[in-house]
Structure 1
């Protein structure tokens, strides 16, 4: 839209210069009128600058992407205030269901019960893919014994069975030291995903420190050689100088293994869910969502996630345009 306005203004100004070059009083007057009209159009554009507020909440995993986009968007649209909370995927959906937010970030697909609650509340929504993530299992760099774990190892470590978990339980050559666990909180989509693919709906080890703030998990794992935890790939990338990532079934999370799906079963898509009514009725919401889809890939790569193929963003933009 901004490029189109610039092209139109340039065309008008070009016409004025051509008329002025022809000479004559009438041409000069016409030129002045054209310039005045151009000035008037510019003033009108400024008066019609987009204003409003947009609110979102949800996944801490998606937060680095969305917070980066919000910061850059603020420089583009100074009249639109965008706020994004980080109460976890589940907490974000609770606010979305209550109509408190325009969009909800999620590190897992929406659950059937959440979709049913939105339908009951009369909230129609659209799911937009943003990026790929590889849920990363990490230990302290002081841990010099763990390099690779199998899915069965992870389950043995993380499922509550009433025992005190020792590193030597996984490998008798490892230290006979108690394992210290850090994990995302139960409102987190990362917790839900781990629960689905690793715990298989069994209880998480009861001694784990849980937090919706991934930075707290990072700090805890950094400071304890017996600690282990998991969170989104971007948080590992941001702290790789002080953390060690653990390979799963011989595959380390990288941009390539996450995008290809070789880092299985811990590769996953990241989403945002937006209110159809907010998109269609509020130009600020539409503009922000359009900016998000146009910039999500670059921002995902910038903060440590993996961009989708361009055709996926094009599908999202088409779905957005259909709601306008």
Structure 2
């Protein structure tokens, strides 16, 4: 059944994990459904959202805020995974597809085959973090070349000593996302040069929390996942900086939003079925992404003198990072141009 919800306008922000739990507990009926309280407006209808499990908390935060202001609009949010979500989106089952990578040629062809036209909107920034066990006192930073040597197909790296002669001669236990994940796709392309290029003997999972548990349970382990998961577990993990030629840099709000953290900073996307833009509630929900936050928003993630749009605000609220203002302007313009052509 739908979640019945009331709230205090001054409620504190939720973590990414809390949004995941909220969404995970309502996958069948959808997140937040029809709110018991909130603003009643003329908008009414259903907007179905699916896609990346990584982007799910951001989508859940946006859906919650919009539904609170328009409580007759229902926005079920799922996180089936980028690949699985694109299959549903391309068949017309869903209206918005969240993706932690860009759409592939095969997925575009499937959309075209089924008459699903779309636009791509950049919605959020993320950083993929490398983490190790907190008792690991030898590895504080890795070069991109070292990461490639560890993770590439047919890698000859088995122990930490194979990476650096001064490091322990102990097997590296590797944990990461599985091949259904957009995070997997982005990581393998950024580090090893193409989607899916990775050694076969690592432990792959669709759930980043499993990666966290695996690494914190083994002194010699290493894992990769969204940086927000590290910051939710920083007492139990150690963050490894990445040297892409300009020194060792860790993923933080500043280094990701400025573009300094390379090559593992990435944009993540919302793909919009433009056939649905004839519906008023659908247009207004998408415009909400790029509207400035109102005075009822939790402003703990807003810096002094800063103005954020809802997509930027939601990103920070759940442990992601805000897209640049220029990207907001470009995405808003793309959306409005598409709406103008349809109306």
- Give TM class, smaller chain: 0.7 to 0.9
Question: Is residue 40 of structure 2 the alignment partner of residue 56 of structure 1?
Answer: no
* Corresponding residue to 1:117 among 86, 110, 115: 110
Partner of 1:287: 284
Measure how far apart 1:193 and its partner are: 0.9
Answer whether contact 1:107 1:190 (CA < 8 A) is retained.
yes
Measure how far apart 1:162 and its partner are: 6.5
Query: What pairs up with 1:1-324 in 2 under 5 angstroms?
Result: 49-161=42-154, 163=156, 165-201=158-194, 203-249=197-243, 250-278=248-276, 280-294=277-291, 295-324=310-339
* Superposition TM-score, scaled by structure 1 size: 0.80
Distance 1:154 1:291 in 2: 39
The gaps in structure 1 that reach 5 residues or longer are 1-44
Partner of 2:30: none
Measure how far apart 1:163 and its partner are: 4.9
Distance 2:320 2:91 in 1: 30
> How many residue pairs get matched?
278
Answer whether contact 2:56 2:79 (CA < 8 A) is retained.
yes
Measure how far apart 1:301 and its partner are: 1.6
RMSD of aligned C-alpha atoms?
A: 2.0
Residues 122-152 of structure 1 deviation map (CA, whole Å, 9 limit, x = unaligned): 1110111112221111112122221000111
Instruction: Describe the SS at the equivalent of 2:169.
Output: coil
Residues 201-243 of structure 1 deviation map (CA, whole Å, 9 limit, x = unaligned): 3742222221222222222222222221111222222222222
Distance 1:81 1:208 in 2: 40
Answer whether contact 1:56 1:83 (CA < 8 A) is retained.
yes
Greater percentage in helix = 1
Distance 2:287 2:225 in 1: 28
Instruction: Describe the SS at the equivalent of 2:211.
Output: helix
* Superposition TM-score, scaled by structure 2 size: 0.76
Q: Structure 1's 303 and 85: CA in aligned 2 closer, same or farther, altered over 3 A?
A: same
